[in-house]
């Protein structure tokens, strides 16, 4: 999910990335669901799940349920719609846990063309209900080209699972979906892990299968919420490095298998494992695979911290430019503290707000730039003690966040400010005897 303001924006970008599975509103893709919602027949119900995409809010996949009635164009129900036209309003709503999302209909052909490819030949299996035009899923562009632009052809993996439902079950699914698109029911407040486009489908599938999906799903998933987030952001090293500072302890809990089905990959696997419904990959990404692992950004954070602290050590040793070096070492810590505490005050997202780094980073560290030498050293020793205590709390498991890199970034400058080390070049050692003059003879 940049000074104080820009850094806050970065943190929120991280927050949006760590858990978002939303799709930008696209007016050209929305399709009226009224024709099929008035259909008295029995639909075929398909669960579609999608691999990750190129944009940060696409790094955790997506999911939809689609209804197919005989003689009618299949319609999919997308619970991941929001309005990206007003980013400021969206970010503020996200910060305050009031981000409004909704469900809307989309033609299956348009959906496949958008997430997969506009060319029919690119699909390993094209649903029989899809009609093509000149080998294109959408109306060909100039010169008969299937490439129509507009964000289509994202080249993301697409899986389909056809749900083996009785007529009563299929109509129950259709009734729920059609109720949810009505104006009084279509909106919901998005939560990254507990209520998103995939959990809504999980709940409906579980209900129609009489709780079989949830049964026995209280065991913990092998990955923590943080690891889920990091797995989708391997291309964003800076965000991963920042995440140790600005995300909280609730990310370090292992979700239950039921909770982990917020992620489309887990939902697809559990539907296959527990309900016996195999997943068909109808479209395989043609481009290079997105990385599933990569650098954490932590070595870069440590390197930057060393670069910012080294001038202070050198200045103390040489006895020159110490005030400037102190500014270079302390100001980044004060800005990080301001960011972390601003997030705590302004943001209501539970997995960001309750951050153990609040104990380590204090805006009062600006005093290191204002106090005189004696009191500055006293303050630095108190703060260094807090950092040591924080490391002990991590070691015994009371603090659960990965705080070793934040602790190191604080320890280095505070240790230099708390003690007379390194000793100024040419200064006598503390235990050296005072120089004496030769006796007059």
Tell me the DSSP string of 129-165: T---BTTBSS---GGG-S---TT------EEEEE---
| Contacts of residue 335, Cβ cutoff 8 Å, sequence gap at least 6 | 3, 4, 7
Q: Alpha-carbon distance 23 to 102, whole Å?
A: 11
* Residue of 359 and 427 predicted with greater confidence: 359
- Neighbouring CB atoms inside 10 A of 433's CB total 7
pLDDT value, residue 164: 97
pLDDT tens-place string over residues 190-208: 888 999 999 999 999 999 9
Model confidence, pTM: 0.86
Averaged over 5-17, what is the pLDDT?
A: 43
Q: Where are the domains of the chain?
A: 3-283, 298-418
pLDDT at 57: 76
- For the segment 143-159, what is each residue's pLDDT rounded down to a tens digit? 889 988 878 999 999 99
Return the pLDDT at 431: 46
Closest by Cα among 75, 356, 65 to 200? 65
Contacts 24+ apart (CB under 8 A), 338-344: 338/4, 338/363, 339/4, 339/7, 339/8, 339/11, 339/245, 339/246, 340/245, 340/246, 342/4, 342/8, 343/8, 343/11, 343/246
Give the C-alpha separation, 67 to 201, whole Å: 13
107 has pLDDT over 80: yes
Cα(347)–Cα(367) distance, integer angstroms: 26
Q: What percent of the chain has pLDDT over 70?
A: 89
Beta bridge partners of 76: 66, 106
Q: Is the pLDDT of residue 417 over 60?
A: yes
Mean pLDDT lowest among 284-298, 350-364, 403-417: 284-298
In which band, very low, low, confident or very high, does the pLDDT at 427 lie, cut at 50, 70 and 90? Answer: low
The pLDDT tens digits for 368-398 are 999 999 999 999 999 999 999 999 999 999 9
- Residue 356's SS3 state is helix
Task: Decide if 47 contacts 62 (C-beta within 8 A).
Answer: no
Q: What is the pLDDT of residue 14?
A: 46
pLDDT tens digits for range 119-143: 999 999 999 888 898 899 998 888 8
pLDDT at residue 8 above 60?
no
Scanning the structure block, which residue is given the tokens 């981000």?
99
- Angle in degrees, CA 188, 193, 197, rounded to 5: 45
Token pair of 437, please? 């003059």
């Amino acid at each position: 999910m940049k000074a104080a303001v820009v850094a806050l924006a970065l943190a929120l970008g991280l927050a949006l990335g760590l858990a978002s599975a939303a799709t930008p509103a696209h007016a050209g893709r929305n399709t009226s669901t009224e024709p099929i919602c008035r259909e008295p027949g029995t639909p075929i119900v398909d669960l579609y799940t999608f691999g990750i995409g190129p944009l940060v809010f696409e790094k955790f996949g997506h999911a939809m349920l689609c209804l197919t009635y005989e003689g009618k164009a299949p319609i999919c129900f997308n619970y991941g719609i929001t309005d990206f036209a007003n980013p400021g309003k969206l970010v503020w709503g996200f910060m305050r846990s009031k981000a409004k999302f909704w469900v809307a209909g989309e033609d299956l052909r348009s959906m496949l063309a958008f997430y997969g490819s506009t060319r029919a030949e690119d699909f390993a299996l094209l649903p029989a209900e899809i009609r093509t035009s000149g080998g294109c899923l959408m109306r060909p562009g100039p010169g008969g080209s299937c490439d129509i632009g507009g964000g289509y052809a994202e080249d993301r993996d697409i899986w389909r699972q056809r749900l083996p439902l009785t007529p009563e079950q299929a109509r129950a699914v259709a009734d729920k979906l059609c109720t949810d698109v009505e104006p009084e029911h279509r909106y919901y407040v998005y939560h990254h892990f507990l209520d998103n486009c995939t959990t809504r489908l999980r709940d409906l599938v579980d209900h129609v299968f009489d709780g079989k999906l949830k049964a026995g799903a209280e065991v913990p998933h092998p990955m923590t919420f943080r690891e889920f987030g990091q797995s989708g952001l391997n291309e964003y090293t800076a965000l991963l490095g920042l995440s140790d500072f600005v995300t909280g302890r609730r990310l370090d809990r292992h979700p239950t298998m039921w909770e982990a089905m917020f992620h489309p990959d887990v939902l697809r696997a559990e539907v296959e494992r527990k309900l016996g419904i195999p997943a068909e990959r109808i479209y395989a990404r043609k481009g290079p695979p997105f990385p599933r692992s990569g650098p954490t950004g932590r070595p870069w954070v440590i390197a930057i911290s060393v670069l910012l602290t080294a001038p202070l050590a050198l200045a103390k040793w040489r006895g020159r430019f110490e005030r400037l070096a102190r500014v270079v070492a302390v100001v980044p810590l004060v800005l990080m503290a301001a960011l972390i505490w601003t997030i705590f005050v302004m943001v209501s997202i539970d997995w960001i707000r309750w951050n153990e780094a609040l104990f380590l980073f204090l805006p009062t560290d600006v005093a290191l730039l204002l106090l005189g030498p004696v009191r500055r050293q006293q303050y630095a020793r108190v703060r260094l003690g807090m950092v040591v205590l924080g490391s002990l709390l991590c070691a015994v498991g009371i603090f659960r966040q990965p705080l070793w890199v934040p602790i190191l970034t604080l320890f280095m400058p505070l240790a230099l400010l708390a003690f007379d080390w390194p000793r100024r070049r040419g200064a006598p050692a503390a235990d050296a005897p005072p120089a004496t003059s030769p006796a007059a003879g």
